[in-house]
Amino acid sequence: MRIKICGVTNVEDALFIEEAGADAIGVVISKESKRNISIDKADEIFSALGPFIIKVVVTHTTSYEKLNEIISLNPDAIQISTNCKIPDTFRGRLIRVIGSESEIPDDCDALIVDESHGNGKAYNAEYAKKIVKKSHMPVILAGGLNSSNVSEAITSVRPYAVDVCSGVEDKVGIKNRFEVLEFIRACGRLPGIKIKKGYFKD
């Protein structure tokens, strides 16, 4: 199962998540979010990562100017919850967020079923299963996932990938490293990390 860990706000968490074996890291650039970071901070995080992890910018913007700033980071993917058209200069993948009232869009590379937006609201299982069956694109599942329920969600919904944010946090924007590892294990993966001094604080 492919794993994205979202709402990353600092380099230290990003490097831990990468070494732990997640497939993708998400940063949020959107003033409406409690995990909003600047373009400069996002660039710092992405620059610290290796070439084999997918770098995703999550945004709720409708601003063409802001989208151009995001594109300047050269993310592998942009995940957007509005219907805003993405500038033609973007060469990465586009992930559109949908919820239970949404039609399936056809101008993107993947869908993420997410009505939580990092707030821990549980996903709608029946709706998610319906979208997985209907969509010709990969479907990512998000919303209230954590190490105790993600295995059941994977078995029930059978998504292309799962996405977690608040479910692996100590507080908003700060990841709990034990929970990151437990989440990866619960997805049926062995974390790739070698425990080093300083990874875990008392």
Q: Exposed (0-12), middle (13-18) or buried (19+): which is 133, by Cβ within 10 Å? A: exposed
**CA pair distance 69, 39, nearest whole angstrom:** 7
84 included as an active-site residue: no
Please identify which of the residues 6, 108, 165, 187 carries the catalytic annotation.
6
Query: Do residues 18 and 50 lie in contact, with contact meaning Cβ atoms separated by under 8 Å?
Result: yes
Decide: residue 65, CB within 10 A, 0-12 exposed, 13-18 middle, 19+ buried: exposed
Q: Is 202 a catalytic residue?
A: no
Please, what is the end-to-end C-alpha distance for the chain in angstroms? 31
Q: Are 4 and 56 in contact (CB under 8 A)?
A: yes
Catalytic residue among 13, 108, 114, 163: 114
Question: What crossing angle do the helices spanning 150-157 and 125-134 adopt, rounded to 10°?
Answer: 40
Closest by alpha carbon to 26, among 87, 76, 98?
76
With both helix axes pointing from N to C terminus, report the angle between 177-186 and 150-157 in degrees, rounded to the nearest 10: 30
Catalytically active residues are 6, 114
